[in-house]
Amino acid sequence: MSESVASILGLVASNPAIAHAISFSSLSLFIDLIVYLKPILSWSQSPYKFSPPSFLPDNLQTFLASALNISLPICSELWTLLRDVLWLSLPSSKSLSGRVVESLIQFGVRHGIGVYNLYPPTRNCLRTGCKYLRRHAGDQRVLEQPITTNAVYFSREHGPVPAVSHSLRCPQCHARYYPNYWIDSAGDSRTYYEGPTPTAIHVTTHVFIDDNVTANELCHQINKDKAYW
């Protein structure tokens, strides 16, 4: 980790335009946000691509520029400068500091980025018949046609906060995959994923609840729910 920080500082110092445009505090927030939002970056590109995206998605770039109070060109240049070290050296983190939460609420929501951004646990269709026959032969079909849904996430640590739920569709069988389950093309069969209980329980279309929130805490949080969307 400290090696990564030294590399990052060295790269920033090597670029006078960036070094003069961004404070250390903003640089630190940039790193925290990128590390936290890595899943959004991963989902923005093919699962067969393992290098960092060449460019930030438009909404993420605009959000970061606003949160860091820097221009879009500087934000773009900062990503170009640091993308390799951030992608390869710093693992994705689910820890949410108060500063990251505040930035996401204040600047992320308007760009379709929630404090929690929920995706299916798979990039591929789970049905045995949905395999590629030529390119990537034998691999399960990659999900596509994303749809986003704004939601509220009741979290034990941060209370009710805005979230974005992402669903994607199999191009072959047309099943749609949600964070907790998938639904077949006829829409009449909901299948929950195997494995451990998810940390975010999908209660209704627009509501997720952290699995460690107690009923008592939930009652208090519902009274504090704000209209973020």
Residues of this chain that interact with Zn ion (CB under 5 A) are: 125, 127, 130, 170, 172-173
* Comparison of 173 and 218: residue with beta carbon closer to Zn ion: 173
State CA 153 to chain mean position distance. 14
- Write down the least CB distance from residue 169 to Zn ion, Å: 9
Q: Check if the beta carbon of residue 145 is closer than 8 Å to that of residue 205.
A: no
**Burial code of 164-202, b = ≥16 C-beta within 10 A, e = fewer?**
bbbbbbbeeeebbbbbbbbbeeeeeeeeebeeeebebeb
- Write down the least CB distance from residue 141 to Zn ion, Å: 5
Q: Which of 205, 202, 209 is closest to 225 using CA atoms?
A: 209
* Comparison of 100 and 143: residue with beta carbon closer to Zn ion: 143
Q: Check if the beta carbon of residue 177 is closer than 8 Å to that of residue 122.
A: yes
Query: How far apart are the C-alpha atoms of 25 and 35, rounded to whole Å?
Result: 16
Query: How far apart are the C-alpha atoms of 215 and 30, rounded to whole Å?
Result: 35
* Comparison of 50 and 192: residue with beta carbon closer to Zn ion: 192
Query: How far apart are the C-alpha atoms of 186 and 111, rounded to whole Å?
Result: 32
* Comparison of 125 and 151: residue with beta carbon closer to Zn ion: 125
Token pair for 197:
């209980």
Q: Which of 143, 156, 138, 148 is closest to 118 using CA atoms?
A: 148
Q: Which of 73, 153, 90, 88 is closest to 118 using CA atoms?
A: 153
* Comparison of 73 and 121: residue with beta carbon closer to Zn ion: 121
* Comparison of 90 and 130: residue with beta carbon closer to Zn ion: 130
- Write down the least CB distance from residue 123 to Zn ion, Å: 12
